[in-house]
């Protein structure tokens, strides 16, 4: 804090090849991101190179927050293995911003030009269909893996659901834009499309944020992230790095035991676990037949 410069640097092994990643920034300058001493032209080029999955307390926003948080999760996973998806998503967001700017300009100058709007409508239509198809396929495959992990961690105590919600299940994007045109002109932004998609998270048919205890919600999130790990591993052939932040808080002993049994398997490769209780962490790790090291971080480190 309060310094003019910072840097992060790390060495990785990726498919037996060494990778050196550098990130640094000087006050007032743009961030620099380099791979093997060569700067990226675009930050998006780095996405998916070294996949990782993080489970942290901040993930609670996936359940308690708005749909934007859940779309961000979906987009983040797909973008790690599908470069075309990321390109389509960036183009869609750019076209959406242009259409919204045009709607505001029409309202400001009390005019309307349908042909100008249709230029962006056509782009949004083509890109939305591709994004929808990729999200639909991803959630279909993720659901099966997610159910497996939730059942294991909870010892089959609850029934949960994960569903993809999109307006494009019932309509083409172009039809939606035509139907909501007058509404969009009044609101001065685009009110329909894949940027309104959501993930429905429930337990026994009731939204998870209403029916789930803190432990059940954490189990749900952990199962979701474990499913994300397995899915990325399947499609990329790479073992993501697994980061587990404050993992054991709000979980009963039964679920802690199940999680420890799970991550102790060879499936997960390199794992980092943070915990504010070093005695608890040692007690959990000692009985396991695995190699591990404990690092203590204090305020002066």
Sign of CA dihedral 262, 264, 269, 271: positive
Looking up tokens 């808080």, which residue turns up?
A: 249
Give pLDDT, residue 63: 94
Looking up tokens 């994004």, which residue turns up?
A: 131
Angle at 40 between CA 37 and CA 42, to 5 degrees: 170
User: Residue 211 to residues 214, 223, 297: CA-CA distances in angstroms?
Assistant: 10, 17, 37
Give pLDDT, residue 288: 76
Distance CA 276, CA 195 (A): 38
Please name every residue paired with 274 in a beta bridge, in sequence order, or none if there are none.
245
Give pLDDT, residue 300: 66
Angle at 291 between CA 289 and CA 296, to 5 degrees: 120
Task: Dig out the tokens for 64 from the structure.
Answer: 């308690």
Give pLDDT, residue 260: 79
Give pLDDT, residue 83: 87
What does the DSSP 8-state code read for residue 200? E
Q: How many CB atoms lie within 10 A of CB 233?
A: 18
Let me know: does 42 contact 73? Beta carbons within 8 Å: no
N-to-C CA span, the chain: 14
pLDDT tens for the chain, 301 residues long, are 789 999 999 999 998 899 999 999 998 888 999 999 999 988 888 988 998 899 898 899 999 999 999 999 999 999 888 889 999 999 999 999 999 999 999 999 999 999 999 999 999 999 999 999 999 999 999 999 999 999 999 988 889 999 999 999 999 999 999 999 999 999 999 999 999 999 999 998 899 999 889 889 999 999 999 999 999 999 888 889 999 998 877 788 888 888 877 877 777 888 898 888 888 888 888 877 778 888 988 876 5
């Amino acid at each position: 804090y309060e310094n003019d410069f910072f840097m992060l640097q790390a060495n990785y092994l990726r498919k037996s090849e060494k990778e050196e990643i550098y990130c640094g920034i000087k006050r007032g300058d743009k961030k620099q991101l380099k791979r093997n001493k060569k700067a990226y032209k675009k930050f998006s080029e780095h996405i998916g190179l070294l996949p990782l999955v993080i489970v942290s307390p901040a993930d609670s926003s996936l359940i308690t927050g708005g749909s934007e948080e859940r779309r961000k999760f979906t987009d983040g996973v797909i973008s790690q293995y599908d470069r075309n998806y990321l390109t389509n998503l960036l183009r869609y967001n750019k076209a959406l911003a242009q259409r919204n700017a045009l709607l505001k300009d029409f309202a400001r100058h009390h005019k309307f030009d349908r042909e100008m709007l249709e230029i962006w409508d056509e782009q949004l239509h083509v890109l939305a269909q591709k994004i929808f198809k990729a999200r639909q396929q991803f959630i279909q495959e993720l659901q099966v893996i997610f159910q497996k992990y939730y059942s294991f961690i909870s010892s089959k105590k609850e029934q949960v659901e994960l569903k993809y919600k999109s307006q494009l299940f019932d309509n083409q994007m172009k039809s939606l834009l035509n139907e909501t045109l007058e509404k969009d002109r009044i609101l001065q932004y685009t009110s329909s499309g894949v940027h309104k998609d959501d993930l429905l998270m429930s337990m026994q048919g009731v939204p998870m944020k209403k029916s789930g205890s803190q432990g059940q919600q954490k189990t749900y999130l952990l199962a979701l992230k474990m499913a994300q790990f397995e899915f990325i591993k399947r499609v990329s052939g790479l073992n993501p790095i697994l980061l587990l932040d404050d993992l054991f808080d709000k979980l009963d002993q039964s679920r802690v035991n199940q999680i420890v049994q799970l991550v102790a398997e060879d499936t997960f490769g390199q794992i980092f676990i943070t915990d504010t209780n070093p005695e608890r962490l040692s007690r959990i790790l000692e009985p396991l037949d695995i190699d591990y090291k404990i690092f203590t971080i204090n305020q002066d480190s």
